[in-house]
Amino acid sequence: MAERIDAHHHLWRYQAADYSWINDSMSVLKRDFLPQDLEKELHAAGFSGSVAVQASQTLAETTWLLELATKFPAIRGVIGWAPLASDHFAADLEHLHSQSKLKGFRHLVQDEPDDNFILGSNLNRGVSSLKNTGLVYDILIFERHLPASIQFVDRHPGQLFVLDHIAKPKIRERLMDPWSKNIGELARRENVFCKLSGMVTEADWANWTEADLKPYVDVVLGAFGPKRLMVGSDWPVCLLASTYKKWFDVLRNLLGDLSDSELDWVFGQTARNVYRLS
């Protein structure tokens, strides 16, 4: 198999104020997770590169991740946060775009109280300014946000998008619809790619099985195809329900019918192409 890339993980120096989404049921996450920890997991699972993704909506975290990426070669790229909806985003973009390891931005749309936040004029103005920069926008939503997200993508036909965590379907409840239908519709937009990540934490943390996940993997594989899918650990969040290596072993089993060349796309080439990793 060609070089493997973990297209979605996090790093942090834990402070409760910066990571308020980590609640009391997530005590395993209430500590520092640093590149030295990540490298052990990467090597044990046979991965050689990764993409670090923001987990706190601060420019300070984005700057820190970019600094780490200059020091640790395994971190091939960073999906950071910046105030896309702000009047001052243009200045932030000019500064951040000079960092070669910056590959895109993300906003925690899933945490916004307005389910139509992604259609807001200010956010869309910021996303429009990414045109011709080569930067990607990662879409972080729950499955209920898919209809609005389809409208959002249609406003930006020239922009590359990556859907995180297959839009967080209701795996715990074993519900497929309307998620399945909406995923199929979103996948018709060829500028949208999808991450096979974050699934075990949408399932029953203590009791999930491969059989619980298989219908959802089959849907996104059929909708996007191998060349528009990429794998991600969502480490350390995945530790709520799985070890790092176990998650990738499960994915390999669930994708067992793919050819070696198709697996090369899902496990590395798609991420390298979309995020322009070197």
Are residues 52 and 69 in contact, defined by beta-carbon separation less than 8 angstroms? yes
Domain regions of the chain by residue span: 5-274
- CB neighbourhood size of 173 (10 A): 10
CA atoms within 13 A on the CB side of 137: 31
3-class DSSP string for 9-38: ECCECCCCCCCCCCCHHHHHHCCCECHHHH
Q: For residue range 168-190, list pLDDT tens digits in order.
A: 999 999 999 999 999 999 999 99
Average pLDDT over every residue of 58-86: 97
> Is 52 strand, coil or helix?
strand
Average pLDDT over every residue of 112-129: 97
Rounded Cα distance, 254 and 257, in Å: 8
Q: For residue range 176-233, list pLDDT tens digits in order.
A: 999 999 999 999 999 999 999 999 999 999 999 999 999 999 999 999 999 999 999 9
**The pLDDT of residue 1:** 64
Rounded Cα distance, 213 and 38, in Å: 25
CATH for 5-274 (3.30.70.270, 3.40.50.970, 3.20.20.140, 3.40.30.10)? 3.20.20.140
